[in-house]
Amino acid sequence: MSAQPQPQPLTATLLLLNREQAILEFNRRVLAQALREDVPLLERLRYICIVSSNMDEFFEVRFADYLEASRLPGSGITLREMAEVAAAAHEMIDAQYAAFNEVVMPALAREGIVVLNHAERDAAQRAWVDDFFQKQVRPLLVPVGLDPAHPFPQVANKSLNFIVKLGGRDAFGRDNSIAIVKVPRVLPRVIRLPAEVAGDRQAFVLLSSLIRAHLEELFPGRTVEAFSQFRVTRDSDLDVDDDVTNLRLALRSSLSTRHFGLAIRLEVVNTCPEELSEFLLQQFGLPDAALYRVNGPVNLVRLNQLIDQADADALRFAPYEPAWPKSLRPANAEGSMFERLKSGDVLLHHPFESFEPVVQMLREAVADPDVLAIKQTIYRTGSESPLMDLLIEAARRGKEVMAVVELKARFDEEANINWAERLEAVGAQVVYGIVGLKTHAKLLLVTRREDTPRGSRLRRYAHLSTGNYNPKTARLYTDIGCMTADPTLTADADLVFQQLASLTRGKAPRQLLLAPSSLHKQMLRLIERCEQAAREGRAARIVVKLNALTDEALIAALVAASQAGVEIDLIVRGACMLPPGLRGFTDRIRVRSVVGRFLEHTRILYFRFGTGEDEELLYLSSADWMTRNMQRRIEVAWPVRDAALRQRVIDECLVPYLRDAQDAWLQGSDGRYERVASEGPSAQQALMRRYKL
């Protein structure tokens, strides 16, 4: 077992948990899903793929930043802490491959789904594989023998490669012994064998196994003495100065170099000879601790291709179709969405309820000649998006379209640049937020001209959300959206768009909380208000549901409130640096994490500071409680003022998660988590049943 997460000083008496260790702990909870017998087998494999993807991002972003921070004077990061994080990462990856090799793949084999290596393939299967290699793979491979005229090639981030040690001499009589084979990304990593050679099973072959079986053919006249797959993970954060004159062009230029950032991790198979792994470490300038020997393919993420190709619906989650919101039924009603919103706000709880009403609202706005302007933030919409297509159509029809495109949305930069260019091409006003601040707020604003007895006037309609404008992830992530015609809230949303476009300091919003100006301060004030209520003997309660809790000021405020008597429940999906349950310090703070079928993504902030109806507040937010969200991003939070809607959020998004006994984990004061062992309900499953009624 690796060392326990090392706390960091917060005050003289309370220590924070290590953030990197907390991220690894989250991935242990995800990996635990792969070991649950009540989860369908292909979904268990998918969780392994998710962990692999998460670990890639951990090294590309988090660990890369951690290493960079450790080099700064006064960082407080010790060599011991770095070694403990590295050891925990090694343990995490070893556990991942153990689950893959010892649990999930044998179970799939019992169901007739197998991945065959060369030794397991019969004569007919080897003949088919050989034919596939000769026709589909061999023409794309270019082995590079290393010598002074052929230096070590550029190896792209997370690409599949082979290192080969050769015997004999080359075509020119020299004894250069090392060669590199780069595998093109265009080749499929998982190949399904046709039924005529697979027999009564669904048989698959990994591209790495296929190439391994034909390595000697790539080096005629030489012998292959040793070899290994390898993959390098690089720092993938785009480093663009805030003083560039054109952020879009600068990012477009930087994208071409992203795949060749500083090397962070080297993966080889566990049979790789030490001399080859040492050679690779030297080429990438990495220490021994950066070497990860894995028992299997070096990129488990690509096993998603097996999941997609397997014909076994019984081994997947049963399909779930989001319900059309009851407040908008019937779904095919001819009435205008705008007319409906005049009678009150509509809350959408994804993925249990459909995201389609948001698309329909925008579609109606595009077609309505009385709609004059549409404004929207764009963070992660995906490379294909009906909403972006509708914005483009709106601009073509002559409507005023403003898109706030966040170009620095990590790993979505290229898609967002492409959307920005397409929008600009049809005359939309495209802005990129504020220099130095990511625009992470989720806002859509429609301005419509309407006739009244006193003449025509402009009226606004808005959609605010805790999640992205992405219909695909809206079926996979839990989020809350609010569609509203509330004059104050929509006016506040317009203020946000005005500030993002004009860069002027306007008047403060009346209901919306905005980071970095007011959100952090108001959260601290509300925590302090609950603390004061507890000191006065009044009922005081805080329940917060987030993706991450790492901001030291907010943690310190929560600790102080708990010491004053406030009962605090934190539902934190990912990294939480607050150690709960410390006697005399955090006795009244409980931290739980829920990891289930859907990715928990809602941000809900509940504060009670008395027993009166006006002594509780509930906010929905785009922001996690992280310093970056509070100080370096444009974020919004908004109150749910309608009592019935507020109670609905409590009943659906807080209470079931506090009672979850299937997918919930409780955090200990040492940062470790234990699964809740009970016969109680699963919050997500209960919500799926509720919305199917």
Does residue 319 have a cis peptide bond before it, meaning omega lies within 30 degrees of 0? no
Q: Which residue has the tokens 């006003």?
A: 429
Q: Judging by beta carbons within 10 Å of its beta carbon (0-12, 13-18, 19+), is residue 556 exposed, middle or buried? A: middle
Q: Which residue has the tokens 């619906």?
A: 313
* Catalytic residue selected from 349, 350, 440, 601: 440
Question: What b/e sequence results for 156-177 when a residue is b if at least 16 CB atoms lie within 10 Å of its CB, and e otherwise?
Answer: bbbbbbbbbbbeeebeeeeeeb
- Tell me the residue type at 463: H
C-alpha–C-alpha distance, residues 84 and 654, integer Å = 35
Q: Note whether 657 and 649 are within 8 A (CB).
A: no
Q: Where are the beta strands (DSSP E) in 551-639?
A: 567-572, 589-594, 599-600, 604-608, 616-621, 633-639
Q: Judging by beta carbons within 10 Å of its beta carbon (0-12, 13-18, 19+), is residue 250 exposed, middle or buried? A: middle
**Region for residue 448 given its phi and psi (left: phi exceeds 0; alpha: psi -120 to 50; beta: otherwise):** beta
Q: Note whether 664 and 676 are within 8 A (CB).
A: yes
Phi, then psi, of 124 in degrees rounded to 5: -65, -40
C-alpha–C-alpha distance, residues 175 and 27, integer Å = 46
* DSSP states along 475-515: GTEEEEEEEE--HHHHHHHHHHHHHHHH----PPPSS-EEE
C-alpha–C-alpha distance, residues 586 and 668, integer Å = 11
Phi, then psi, of 102 in degrees rounded to 5: -100, -20
Q: Note whether 463 and 483 are within 8 A (CB).
A: yes
* DSSP states along 363-412: HHHHH-TTEEEEEEEESS--SS-HHHHHHHHHHHTT-EEEEEE-TTSTT-
C-alpha–C-alpha distance, residues 343 and 642, integer Å = 12
Is position 259 annotated as part of the catalytic site? no
Helices (H), 536-585: 552-563
SS3 280: helix
> Which of the 8 DSSP states describes residue 185?
T
For CA atoms 213, 219, 223, 226, the dihedral sign is negative
List, in sequence order, every residue forming a beta bridge with 675; answer none if it has no partner: 665
For CA atoms 9, 11, 13, 17, the dihedral sign is negative
List, in sequence order, every residue forming a beta bridge with 178; answer none if it has no partner: 165
Q: Judging by beta carbons within 10 Å of its beta carbon (0-12, 13-18, 19+), is residue 220 exposed, middle or buried? A: exposed
Q: Which residue has the tokens 């939309």?
A: 428
C-alpha–C-alpha distance, residues 50 and 30, integer Å = 8
| Cα within 13 Å of Cα(575), Cβ side | 20
Per DSSP bridges, beta strands 429-431 and 400-405 are parallel
What are the angstrom distances between the C-alpha of 129 and each of 125, 191, 298, 312, 439?
A: 6, 9, 21, 24, 49
User: 3-state DSSP: the chain helix, strand, coil percent, rounded to 5?
Assistant: 40, 25, 35
The residues annotated with a catalytic role in the active site are: 440
